[in-house]
Amino acid sequence: MTRPFRVAVVGAGPAGIYAGNILRTRALDAGIDVRIDLFESLPAPYGLIRYGVAPDHPRIKGIVTSLHDMLADGSVRLIGNVEVGADITVDELQSLYHAVIFSTGAQRDAVVDLPGLNLPGSFGAADFVSWYDGHPDVPRQWPLDAAQIAVLGNGNVALDVARVLAKHPADLLTTDIPDNVYAGLAASPVQDVHVFGRRGPEDIKFTPIELRELGEVPGVEIVLYDEDFDRSAEDAPTGERRAAGNQAKVMARILQSWRDRASTGAPRRLHLHFWHKPVELLGEDAVAGIRFERTEPDGQGGIRGTGELRDYDVQAVYRAIGYRGTPVRDVPFDESAGVIPNDGGRVLDGGVPVPGLYATGWIKRGPVGLIGHTKGDAGETIEKLLEDYDLLADTPSADDDSVLEFLEGRGVRYTTWEGWLALDAHERALGDSFAGEVVRERVKVVSRDEQVAISNREVIVR
């Protein structure tokens, strides 16, 4: 009798769940008896959807329904609260599985060298997003004491950060935000959020739906500046704006409609600035301002500085200039690209494939693209893995309980799918029991210990 083909997927975000699901289907088609374990460092599944998508984006969070269905039939077994590289090494995993797929995503902020970056009041978007999404590993309190705020970057993360900062907190109460986040946002004195792009309005990396919703936030006025549009109209397009096609046209119309609007006198304002390259954060003990150099198209698809400096008085700066992957111990990592080096998903070490190791999602190709794009990505990785099946199937492996016994022996309080169902029901019940006038879909449990205890039905000691 042939032994089951055992595969570990590391990271239970969309990329990992799609990979597990596609592997399951294709292995069945190929007549391979596959067993898939999905490891997650957090007690709960869904990665970026639970801890990266903004709380006021229920449409995107709705993807959870299809991911839930992929896990609910048990064909992919969830093992949460296990950090691969710490609780179990990659070597140990490889002794239990024929293949390991890394789908660990990109959760850190891209690195940038700006004087003043370490001043209090300077934040990376990744940390702020983790805070408002109730990630267990960031502090509960966020210093929201700035009335004027700068957000750097013209991608969708910058929009998320700016929108959450500018939004009146009552409009977030119907979402799944944790109580500490609601309390923090409710105390914020913010009046002006300034979003800065280093290129022009035609070069934005926003997407139309996300841009449009910015103009629909109650009690927040969008402010645009004529000087930014005059500048781009007379020059050749830079970078990607030529390639953006219809999306760019839709977004140009959205921006124009805002320019045509009369001022609403709303108590909060969200300013969109273009052609501003950050130069330095200003302040001695804390952020007191930010300096930019104005830019212009260089005629060759890029930008160049004009030499004109502009200072803005702000008390906080958020960098939303892209994410970056985190290395997994003992797995090759390309520091400059922030990804696991790979060829179509086969992990490479010095250009040579490492037998049995694969990558998918943002840790494979970098933090670009929408959640749906990770499906195609997973398909490619699974194709490579199945091409290698004959080589991999011979390596030693264990039985279904081996990894659980291993983790128990090491004292790891792992969580399961049944545990997630218990935590999910608990969070929804907290939402139902909210005594206010609004309906709260759920209230997220933030603490890791508490999540594990609820999942494992342990007694919570306070």
Catalog residues that contact ligand NAP under the rule CB under 6 A: 57, 60, 112, 152-158, 160, 197-199, 203, 205, 207, 210, 278, 320-323, 367-370
Greatest alpha-carbon pair distance for the chain in Å reads 75
Query: Residue 57, Cα to own-chain centre: how many angstroms?
Result: 13
How far is residue 229's CA from residue 112's CA, in Å, rounded to a whole number? 27
- Closest alpha carbon to 208 in 156, 160, 269, 258: 156
What are the strands of the beta sheet with 289-297, ordered from one edge?
276-282, 289-297, 303-312
Nearer Cβ to ligand NAP, position 94 or 360? 360
Q: Least distance (Å) from ligand NAP to the CB of residue 289?
A: 17
Nearer Cβ to ligand NAP, position 58 or 85? 58
How far is residue 383's CA from residue 314's CA, in Å, rounded to a whole number? 50
Nearer Cβ to ligand NAP, position 368 or 425? 368
Contact yes or no for 70/45 (Cβ under 8 A): no
Nearer Cβ to ligand NAP, position 30 or 370? 370
Q: Least distance (Å) from ligand NAP to the CB of residue 189?
A: 26
Q: Least distance (Å) from ligand NAP to the CB of residue 349?
A: 27
User: Residue 105 in 3-state DSSP?
Assistant: coil
How far is residue 384's CA from residue 379's CA, in Å, rounded to a whole number? 9
How far is residue 50's CA from residue 445's CA, in Å, rounded to a whole number? 12
DSSP output for 17-58 = HHHHHHHHHHHHHTT--EEEEEE-SSSSS-HHHHHTS-TT-H
User: Which residue number is nearest to ligand NAP in terms of Cβ?
Assistant: 155
Q: Least distance (Å) from ligand NAP to the CB of residue 298?
A: 13
Nearer Cβ to ligand NAP, position 44 or 317? 317
Question: 59: which residues sit within 8 A by CB, 6+ positions away?
Answer: none
Nearer Cβ to ligand NAP, position 99 or 161? 161
Nearer Cβ to ligand NAP, position 179 or 240? 240
Q: Least distance (Å) from ligand NAP to the CB of residue 210?
A: 5
Nearer Cβ to ligand NAP, position 244 or 392? 244
Nearer Cβ to ligand NAP, position 2 or 336? 336
Give per-residue burial for 11-37: e unless 16+ CB within 10 Å, then b.
bbbbbbbbbbbbbbebbeeeebebbbb
Nearer Cβ to ligand NAP, position 85 or 366? 366
How far is residue 92's CA from residue 85's CA, in Å, rounded to a whole number? 9
Q: Least distance (Å) from ligand NAP to the CB of residue 452?
A: 28
Phi, psi of 167 (to 5 degrees): -65, 145
Q: Least distance (Å) from ligand NAP to the CB of residue 218?
A: 19
Nearer Cβ to ligand NAP, position 37 or 210? 210
How far is residue 354's CA from residue 346's CA, in Å, rounded to a whole number? 7
Report the residue count for the chain: 462
Q: Least distance (Å) from ligand NAP to the CB of residue 205?
A: 4
In sequence order, the β-bridge partners of residue 276 are 294
Sign of the four-CA dihedral 248, 249, 252, 254: negative
How far is residue 7's CA from residue 99's CA, in Å, rounded to a whole number? 5
Nearer Cβ to ligand NAP, position 122 or 415? 122
In sequence order, the β-bridge partners of residue 87 are none
Phi, psi of 342 (to 5 degrees): -160, 160
How far is residue 356's CA from residue 386's CA, in Å, rounded to a whole number? 11
Q: Least distance (Å) from ligand NAP to the CB of residue 239?
A: 6
Q: Least distance (Å) from ligand NAP to the CB of residue 80?
A: 24
Q: Least distance (Å) from ligand NAP to the CB of residue 105?
A: 11
How far is residue 248's CA from residue 256's CA, in Å, rounded to a whole number? 12
Based on C-alpha coordinates, what's the Rg of the chain? Answer: 24
Q: Least distance (Å) from ligand NAP to the CB of residue 144?
A: 20
